[in-house]
Amino acid sequence: MSIVLPAATGSAATFEAVSKYSAPTRRPIEPVGRYFLAHATRTLRGHTWSEYEKLEAEKNVTVVEENGDEDIGDEEQDEDLLAHDPREWKTADLYAVLGLSHLRWKATDDQIKRAHRKQVLKHHPDKKSASGGLEQDGFFKIIQKAMETMSDVTKRQQYDSVDTNADVVPPAPKSEYDFIEAWGPVFASEGRFSKKQPVPSLGDMNSTKEEVDAFYSFFGKFDSWKTFEFKDEDVPDDTSNRDHKRYIERKNVAARKKLKQEDNKRLIALVERAYSEDPRIKLFKDAAKAEKAKKKWDKEAGSRKAAEEEAAKKAAAEEAAKKAAEENANKKADSKKAKEAAKNAKKKAKRTIRAAAKEAEYFGDAAKSGDIDADVEYLVEKLDDVQLQTVSSKVAGGDATVTKSAFNEIAAELAGVGKLQAAHLKYFSA
């Protein structure tokens, strides 16, 4: 019966604090029990109730998940296995017998126990004979043998050692395959026999050289716990023939040794093959080669630079020399031209000056043309290049007075510097 609340008297406030509750007493609580631990965790971590409950709830979920594999051992055995001769139980696949062929060496003790229980329920002779069949306990015997093997750590190791069904077959040589995809499981399965755990994984195409090297060196020095007792020939139990018994025992030991050696050889061959086919190794080799070339290139950089500089210098020098020669030639040609031009100009000026008197019609003194020409000739002889140009430009106008005065001026100028004897002049006056 639930508690009934009293009716409200219609107060407006929905909550009203009336008084304080009694002061608490401080007491030590006993640090025992899981609720104390919960309290401690809450206090130390400062969790509130809901946070704590949330964390606890999360924990519960994982617990539930762990109990997940309920269908363990539900696998069906095939006809051949069910009809297997119990005397030849060693040749049967004992994991398949227990319905654990998907787990094999990975099956935990608990899983084995549960799977065995299921198989017993399914294949118990009582059950079989009830359904009509007789002499049907063959498979049951194998189940018991399988359990006997699996429940003993040593025996299980011995069986796992020779359980080739759990081995992953490497890809056929000279076939096209993805290296990582094909070899990864092979080495993962080989790794289970290692005494040293954890076993490095094959990695992927992006693994570094160190990782790959570590992987191959691990498998190169592989220390396996594989033993081959399971393949022993049964030692006769009777005490009648001791020699025969010892003979068999010796033979077994020798056989085991041989098998172990063979297995080691097989593994070495396997690792060598994988190494030779590993595309990463090729990549690393190429990378190493490229690296080496680059190093060499770098190492020679100094001398190469010097040679380059030398060549550049040489080229530059050649260039310079060529340029200089060209310039020289140009210069030569230019000076020749200039000289010629100057000569021509001189000639022209001389011609102008010589013609000037005639053009000025000898200043009205045609009679004295002989004197004038002689004077002009004399002046022209004495004039330098610059004066020639000045005079020629002055006289070029053809104006008689200007020409005459120009001649007079230049004659006076020349006489002034002592270049010409005024006395020699017949017409012009200095």
| Site of interaction with other proteins (CB under 8 A) | 2-11, 13-44, 49
- Is residue 105 a contact partner of residue 163, using CB atoms and an 8 Å limit? yes
Cβ nearer to other proteins, comparing 9 with 91: 9
Assess contact for 412 and 430: CB atoms under 8 A: yes
Nearer to other proteins by C-beta: 27 or 174? 27
Q: How far is the CB of 50 from other proteins (least distance, A)?
A: 9
* Structural tokens at position 60: 């519960």
For 78, residues 6+ apart whose C-beta sits below 8 A from its C-beta are 96
Q: In the numeric block, which tokens belong to residue 68? A: 């997940």
In this complex, which beta carbon is closest to other proteins, that of residue 4 or of residue 64? 4
CA 263, distance to chain mean position in Å, is 37
Q: Looking at beta carbons only, is 33 or 279 nearer to other proteins? A: 33
Residues near 410 by beta carbon (within 8 Å), at least 6 away in sequence: 379, 383, 387, 390, 391
Closest distance to other proteins from the beta carbon of 52 (Å):
10
* Phi, psi dihedrals of residue 148, rounded to the nearest 5°: -60, -40
CB of 286 to other proteins, least distance (A): 51
4 vs 386 by CB, closer to other proteins: 4
**Which is nearer to other proteins, 32 or 423 (by Cβ)?**
32
CB burial of 16-38 (b: ≥16 within 10 Å; e: otherwise) equals eeeeeeeeeeeeeeeeeeeeeee
Helices in 233-300 by DSSP H: which ranges?
242-277, 279-299
Smaller CB separation from other proteins, 38 or 188: 38
Number of neighbours of residue 96 by Cβ within 10 angstroms = 19
Rounded to a whole number of angstroms, the minimum distance from the CB of residue 152 to other proteins is 18
C-alpha to C-alpha distance for 228 and 159, rounded to whole angstroms: 8
CA-closest candidate to residue 226, choices 301, 166, 273, 316: 166
**Pairwise CA distance, residues 157 & 155, whole Å:** 5
> What is the smallest separation between the CB atom of 173 and other proteins, expressed in angstroms?
50
Q: How many C-beta atoms surround the C-beta of residue 367 within 10 A?
A: 9
Distance, in Å, from the CA atom of 59 to the CA atom of 247, rounded to the nearest integer, reads 60
- The least CB distance from residue 56 to other proteins, in Å, is 13
| For other proteins, the closer CB: 16 or 223 | 16
| Among candidate residues 70, 119, 72, the one with its CA nearest the CA of residue 94 | 119
* CB of 9 vs other proteins, minimal distance in Å: 7
Closest separation between CB of residue 46 and other proteins, Å? 9
